[in-house]
């Protein structure tokens, strides 16, 4: 809904988004983020030269798990 024109449809999409990802639901994603960060740190300790690859994987993992929840 970020690129939608403002109107009734935009408000409906925003309402659904906030109901799933709003401040009241942040605690739901803590375990997902903690696992993803643990994996990131482990990979960085093993092969620090691959930092950018590890960071890309972290972003991919954390965002895909959040949006497929």
pTM beyond 0.95: the answer is no
Provide the pLDDT confidence category of residue 64 given band limits of 50, 70 and 90: confident
**DSSP readout, the chain?**
-TTSPSSHHHHHHHHHHHHHHSGGGGGGGHHHHHHHHHHHHHHHHH-GGGHHHHHHHHHHHHHHHHHT-
Q: Which residue has the higher pLDDT, 21 or 53?
A: 53
Per-residue pLDDT, 68: 55
* pLDDT digits 0-9 by tens, 4-48: 999 999 999 999 988 888 888 888 888 888 888 898 999 999 999
């Amino acid at each position: 809904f970020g690129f939608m024109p403002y109107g009734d449809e935009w408000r409906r999409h925003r309402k659904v988004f906030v109901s799933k990802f709003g401040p009241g639901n942040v605690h739901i994603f803590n375990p997902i983020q903690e696992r993803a960060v643990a994996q990131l740190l482990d990979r960085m300790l093993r092969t620090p030269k691959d930092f950018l690859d590890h960071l890309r994987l972290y972003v991919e993992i954390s965002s895909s798990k959040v949006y497929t929840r």
